[in-house]
Structure 1
Amino acid sequence: MEFYSNHKLLFWSALVFFLFLTLQIAILPAIQNQQVYQPLPDAKPLTKAEQAGKDLYVANGCIACHTQQVRGIDQDKPFGSRPNIPADYAMNQRMDVWRNTANLLGSERTGPDLTNIGERQPSVDWQLLHLYQPRAVVEQSVMPAYQWLFKEKDYLEKGDIEVKVPEKFLQNKFKKVVATKDAMNLVAYLLSLKQLKLPDGTKPPEFLYKQKEKAAATGGGTALPDGGEIYNGNCVACHQANGEGLPGAFPPLKGSPIVLGDDLKLYVTIIMKGYDPRPQWATMPNVGTAANFTPEMVTALINHERSSWGNTAAPVKLEDVKKIMDEIK
Structure 2
Amino acid sequence: MAPAHEPVLLDRVVALLAPSLDRDGSVLVDATLGLGGHSEAVLTRCPRSRVIGIDRDPQALELAGRRLAEFGDRFVGVHAVYDELPEVLDRVGLLSVDAVLFDLGVSSMQLDVRARGFAYAEDAPLDMRMDGTTGPTAADVLNTYSAAELARVLRDFGEERFARKIATAIVRRREREPFATSAALVELLYAEIPAPARRTGGHPAKRTFQALRMEVNDELAVLRRALPAAIDAVGVGGRVVVEAYHSLEDRLVKHAFAEVTRSHVPEDLPFVPAGQEPALRLVTRGAEKADAAEIEQNPRAASVRLRAVERVRPSTRGASS
Q: TM-score range by the shorter chain?
A: under 0.3
TM-score for both structures, normalised by structure 1:
0.25
